Structure 1
Amino acid sequence: MTANASPRVTEIGPRDTAARAAFCDYVPQVFQRASFHRWSEWGEWNDDYRAFAVVEDGRVLANASVMRMRLLLEGREVTGYQLGAVGCLPEQRGRGLARAVMEAALDFCGDAPVLLFANPRVLQFYPRFGFAPRRQDLFAAPYEATPEGAPAPTLDLSEAGVRAGLAALSDRGVPVTERFGARGYSTIATWYAANGFARPLRRLTDDAWVFASVEDDTLYLDDIFTRGPLDLRAWIPRLIDRPIRRIQFGFTPERWWPEAPVSGEDTEADLFVRGLDLPREPHRFPVLAHT
C-alpha cells in the first residue's frame, strides 16, 4: 500500500480460515486480556459475526467487527448491529487504518441502528462517525436469603451440547429484558465463557439457566435464559453458598424484580448509539450481550 492509497479492508467471516486465524492473533495485541481462539474453536463464530480488517502480509493491522443483533426496544424487535474489537496495532497508528475499518463496518450496517460499548480512552473517536453517548444504569435490590436445598448444578460451556442448549433458550425463550435488550445472543455469552470472564452458568431446570455467583454478601445475577415464566425468588437459596443481603442485576430487571431501584450509573463500559432511540426509563443492556 502506497503512502497516499486508501487502506484496503478485508471482510472476514467464519469460513475464511486463514484470515480468521490472523484476526484471532491480532485481538490480544490490542486487547490484552481478550482472545477469540477458543471461541472460534468452539464453532461459535457464525455468519452473524463479520470482521472488517486491514490485512498486510497475513497480519491484521486494524479491525472493526460487526455482530448482527435482534434488538428489543420496549418489546419491539428490531434488526441492528453491534460493533466490537475496534482497534489498531499500536505501531500502525496514525495511518488512518482505524477510520478505514470503521467506515467499512458501518457501510455494511447501512441504515440499521448500531450500538457499541467503548472504553474511556477512546470516547472522542466514535462521535466522528455519528455516534452519541447514552447512559446505562445499575440495578440492585436489598434481599436477605440463606442457602437451602441442593445447589443448582453448574453447566460447562466447553461442551457442545450445553452451548446448543443455551442457543435454543436464547433464540426462542423469554428475553431477560424487553426494555432495551436482545434475543439470540448466546454466541456473545459463550465468548465471555471462553475467556473466563463469565460467572458460572447454573441449571435451575432443563428450561431455565442463569449466569450467577456470590461475592461478599451480594448475589450477582448476570443473565437469565428461560423458555417461560420462572419464580426467581424460589431459586435464590439454591444459587448461593452463603447468606446474602443484596442482589445486583446485569440487565434491566423489569420482568424479574420490578421494584429493583437504580443503584447508580454503569461506568465500566460507555454506550454509544447511532440511529437508535432508547427508552426514557432507566435501562441496562444485558452485560452478556456486550461485544
Structure 2
Amino acid sequence: MNAAPRVTEIGSHDIGLKAAFCDFVPQVFRRADFRRWSDWGEWNDDYRAFAVLEEGRVVANAAVMRMRLILEGREVQAFQLGAVGCVPTHRGRGLSRVVMDAALDACAGAPVLLFANPNVRQFYPRFGFQPWTQTLFAAAHEATPSGPPAPRIDLEDAAARAGLAALSSEGLPVTERFGARGHSTAASWHVANGFARPLRRLEDDAWVSAGVEGDTLYIDDVFTRRAFDLRACVPRLIDRPIRSIRFGFTPERWWPDATVAGEDTKADLFVRQLPLSREPHGFPVLART
C-alpha cells in the first residue's frame, strides 16, 4: 500500500514555496493570481496553504484564511478555505482529498466556510460541508451625480493598504447578520486581481467599494469607523443617473428598506460547523476567498 503524499504547509515567510504556490494557482484557476497580492505584503500569518509538491512544483493545494466572522452581532473565530484544487495532470489520484484533510486539521474543529467552483459542488459534502443559500439585495433609488466625486483609492500605495486594514479591523462591520471584520487582505486580493469595483473615499474614515453599471449602482462593501448616511452620499459615488442599487452584502444597517432580489446563483457557499440564521443574508463579496 502506497503511503499518503506528504503535505507541506506554506506560510507568509516561505519565499520559495510561495513562488511555487503562485505558479500553481493559474494552472487551476485561470483568472486568479496571487503574485501581485503577495508582492504587496498582503499574505500574512492569517493565510496558510497546504500543498502537495512534486519536484518543487505545487500539484495540489487547499488554503486556509483565518476569519473574524460576525454572526447576528457576535464575533466568531473561524476559517475560510480557498484555492482548493489539483493541476490537470494529477487529477484522479486523491490529492485534493489529502490537502483538504490537512487544511481541515489545521482548523482544529472551528467553523469553516468556502465558496465553491460550481463544477465541484458534490465534492465538499464529503468533508461535512453543507450548501447554504446566499441572497441578493436591491433597492429602487433614483439619483444623479452631485457634489465633489468621491476620489478613488489606489491600493498600490502601501499607506492606502494600511488604512484599509485599520478601517476593516477597527471599524463597523458592514453587516451584523453574516459578515466579517478584519478582512482587508481578502478585499485587497480582489483588488489585486481586478475583481473589485473601485474603492472610493467619502471621508478619511469612510471608504466604499462601488461602481455604476448601466443605470445601477453596485455597492460591494463599506469600510468605516462610524455609521453615516449612505443614501445622502450616493450622488458622490455615481458618474451618471441611476435608478437602482445592488448590494454585495446584507444591507440591514445601511439601507433598511432594501428588498430581496433573488438568490445569488454565483455564490456557491458551503459551511461546516457554522450555525447560520435562516434569515436572508449575503456574505460580503470582498470577504470571500
Q: 1:234 Cα deviation (Å)? A: 1.1
Q: Select the residue among 111, 120, 126 that pairs with 2:109.
A: 111
Which residue does 1:201 correspond to in 2? 199
Q: 1:168 Cα deviation (Å)? A: 0.2
Which residue does 2:86 correspond to in 1? 88
- Aligned partners of 1:111, 1:103: CA distance in 2, in Å? 12
Secondary structure of 2:251's aligned partner: coil
The CA RMSD over aligned residues, in Å, is: 0.7
Secondary structure of 2:97's aligned partner: helix
Q: 1:224 Cα deviation (Å)? A: 0.2
Amino acid at match of 1:53: A
Find out whether 1:128 has 2:126 as its counterpart: yes
Correspondence list, 1:140-155, <5 A: 140-155=138-153
Percent pairwise identity: 74
- Cα deviation, 1:180-230, whole Å, max 9, x if unaligned, reads 001000000000111111100000000000000000000000000000011
How many aligned positions are there? 289
- Aligned partners of 1:233, 1:283: CA distance in 2, in Å? 21
Q: 1:269 Cα deviation (Å)? A: 2.1
Which residue does 2:285 correspond to in 1? 287
- Cα deviation, 1:49-105, whole Å, max 9, x if unaligned, reads 000000111100000000000011000001000000000001101111100000000
TM-score normalised over the length of structure 1? 0.98
**Runs of 5+ consecutive residues of structure 1 not aligned to the other structure:** none
**Runs of 5+ consecutive residues of structure 2 not aligned to the other structure:** none
Q: Select the residue among 74, 77, 84 that pairs with 1:76.
A: 74
- Cα deviation, 1:221-262, whole Å, max 9, x if unaligned, reads 000000001110111001000100000000000100111110
- Cα deviation, 1:100-151, whole Å, max 9, x if unaligned, reads 0000000000110000000210000000000000000000000000001111
- Aligned partners of 2:164, 2:69: CA distance in 1, in Å? 18
- Aligned partners of 1:279, 1:165: CA distance in 2, in Å? 32
Which residue does 2:213 correspond to in 1? 215
Amino acid at match of 1:25: D
- Aligned partners of 1:95, 1:250: CA distance in 2, in Å? 37
- Cα deviation, 1:3-28, whole Å, max 9, x if unaligned, reads 82201100000001111100000000
- Aligned partners of 1:175, 1:78: CA distance in 2, in Å? 13
Amino acid at match of 2:25: V
- Aligned partners of 1:115, 1:91: CA distance in 2, in Å? 28
Q: Which consecutive segments of 4 or more residues in structure 1 shift more than 4 A?
A: none
Q: Select the residue among 17, 20, 23 that pairs with 2:21.
A: 23
